[in-house]
């Protein structure tokens, strides 16, 4: 795990893209996250882009400006110009860093301005930035696991394996969409409320969101090999926001004995931008574990874990109902939490995933699981906020929610903020629930 800072992290850097110098921007020159885009409404091929202020730097439009790049940066640029970022992800940390440095120098104040290479984000259409071969969702918030466990297993809310092993399940890559995704309310079987023997089939009645962080794999590992935990973050390209939509009533009926299935595979929404781990280097945080809890087994422990194994990323959930849109009322905040509160780290997720020889590939996606904090108001799902549907949540316009209704839009936001440093944002992951088909 590299903790080295370099000139790209200099907080005094500014850009000739004026909007990047706004203190409220998610995308200052110190960020430079990657995505895949094209001009909205066009038939252009999707291609790599980098967020800078309220613009997208079109990597395919750099032309002669790229001749000043190092060979390694030019090679990385050619990989980023494709319709997905898998090739760039596979190139490894040295290539990612070389391209990031070249783009930082290209965009700094005083460099030659390239307005022809900019596309306003408001005029851009985004797609999932990588071909995701596999998706695994973890369960790394002990606060979420304990609260949800208490709803269903009051006598044993936290199963005994939780503090020993990073729990996860295999998700469905084909239903992952980028921010702006809309999807029909899922249908399936649910347990009858009246105790009848035959389950009910129909649209989900307890639809929920899950506030998560996504982890995009860069370089993978050969089948049969393991990634040592101390080297795991060198295999991580970057992080995004992730909403693992959940049908709680379907989940309650189907998850025993093999875990989630139809309750989870209908939609997952991610933010369009992947913030590189290099950009997040100044925002590392201590990873903590209660001394009374089991400490990680040796294959999940490494020297830098306790000092800097976590990322200090503020997370937020907002809700905008159809009525709020009609009334021109902005989205209402529901909760806030922080990624640093995870019980298991990014490196531990990667190491555990591969310890049995499972091969990860460039573009594979890991989800953190619902990131709930220690306080009730920092819960990352409606299941927790509503106490399993027992307590309604009052919205500013007078509407109430226990679970999501048709027309509801859930917005996730994330940012890394520290005094004296620029704000490194993730943009938004927004998704809307449509009526069941």
Q: Check which CATH number belongs to the domain holding 44 and give it.
A: 2.30.30.230
Both 30 and 151 in a single domain?
no
Domain boundary among 127, 150, 167: 127
Which range, of 179-183, 249-253, 417-421, averages the lowest pLDDT? 249-253
377 domain-assigned? yes
Residues 141 and 12 in one domain: no
- The answer to whether 254 is a known ligand-binding residue is no
390 is in an annotated binding site: no
pLDDT band at 192 (very low <50, low <70, confident <90, very high): confident
Residue 2 lies in a domain: no
Mean pLDDT within 314-329: 97
The total domain count for the chain is 2
Domain endpoint, select from 90, 110, 127? 127
Is 326 marked within a binding site?
A: no
Mean pLDDT score, 152-172: 91
pLDDT for the residue numbered 155: 87
Q: Which of 33, 18, 17 is nearest to 106 (CA)?
A: 17
Residues 179 and 241 in one domain: yes
Q: Please indicate, yes or no, whether residues 324 and 277 belong to a single structural domain of this protein.
A: yes
Which residues form the catalytic set?
A: 144
209 is in an annotated binding site: no
CATH of the domain at 324: 3.90.850.10
Domain match, 80 and 151 both: no
Verify that 264 and 395 share a domain, yes or no.
Answer: yes
Question: Are residue 277 and residue 411 in the same domain, yes or no?
Answer: yes
The pTM is what?
Answer: 0.96
Domain identity same for 275 and 346: yes
375 annotated as belonging to a binding site for a ligand: no
In a shared domain, residues 268 and 142: yes
370 is in an annotated binding site: yes
Residue 264 annotated as part of some ligand binding site: yes
Write down the pLDDT at residue 1: 44
Domain boundary among 74, 97, 127: 127
Q: Residue 1: inside a domain, yes or no?
A: no
Q: Are residues 334 and 231 in the same domain?
A: yes
Confirm whether 402 is domain-assigned: yes
Of 252 and 409, the structure prediction assigns the larger pLDDT to 409
Regarding whether 147 and 114 lie in a shared domain, the answer is: no
Residue 106 structural domain: 7-127
Are 268 and 366 found together in one domain?
yes
């Amino acid at each position: 795990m590299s903790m080295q800072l370099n000139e790209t992290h200099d907080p005094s850097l500014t850009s000739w893209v004026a909007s990047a110098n706004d203190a409220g921007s998610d995308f200052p020159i110190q960020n430079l996250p990657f995505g895949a885009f094209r001009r909205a409404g066009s038939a252009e091929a999707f291609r790599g882009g980098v967020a800078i202020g309220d613009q997208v730097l079109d990597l395919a439009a750099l032309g002669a400006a790229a001749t000043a790049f190092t060979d390694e940066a030019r090679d990385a640029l050619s990989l980023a110009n494709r319709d997905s970022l898998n090739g760039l992800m596979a190139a490894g940390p040295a290539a990612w860093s070389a391209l990031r440095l070249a783009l930082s120098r290209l965009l700094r104040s005083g460099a030659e301005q390239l307005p022809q290479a900019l596309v306003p984000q408001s005029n851009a259409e985004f797609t999932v930035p990588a071909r995701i071969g596999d998706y695994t969702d973890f369960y790394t918030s002990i606060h979420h696991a304990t609260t949800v466990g208490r709803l269903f297993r009051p006598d044993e809310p936290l199963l005994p394996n939780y503090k020993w092993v990073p729990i996860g399940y295999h998700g469905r890559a084909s239903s992952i969409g980028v921010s702006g995704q809309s999807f029909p309310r899922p249908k399936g079987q649910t347990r009858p409320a009246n105790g009848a023997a035959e389950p009910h089939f129909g649209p989900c009645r307890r639809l929920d969101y899950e506030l998560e962080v996504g982890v995009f794999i860069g370089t993978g590992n050969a089948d049969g090999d393991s990634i040592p935990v101390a080297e795991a973050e060198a295999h991580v390209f970057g992080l995004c926001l992730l909403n693992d939509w959940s049908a709680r009533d379907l989940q309650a009926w189907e998850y025993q004995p093999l875990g989630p299935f139809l309750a989870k595979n209908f939609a997952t929404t991610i933010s369009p931008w992947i913030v590189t781990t290099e950009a997040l280097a100044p925002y590392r945080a201590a990873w903590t574990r209660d001394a009374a809890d089991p400490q990680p087994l040796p294959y999940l422990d490494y020297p830098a874990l306790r000092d800097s194994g976590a990322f200090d990323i503020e997370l937020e959930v907002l809700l905008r109902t159809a009525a709020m849109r009609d009334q021109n009322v902005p989205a209402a905040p529901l909760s806030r939490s922080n990624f640093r509160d995870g019980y298991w780290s990014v490196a531990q997720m990667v190491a555990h995933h591969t310890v049995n020889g499972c091969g990860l590939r460039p573009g594979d996606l890991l989800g953190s699981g619902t990131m709930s904090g220690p306080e009730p108001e920092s819960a990352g799902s409606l299941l927790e906020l509503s106490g399993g549907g027992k307590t309604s949540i009052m919205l500013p316009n007078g509407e109430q929610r226990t679970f999501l209704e048709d027309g509801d839009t859930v917005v996730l936001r994330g940012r890394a903020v520290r005094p004296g440093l620029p704000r490194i944002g993730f943009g938004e992951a927004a998704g809307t629930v449509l009526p069941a088909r």
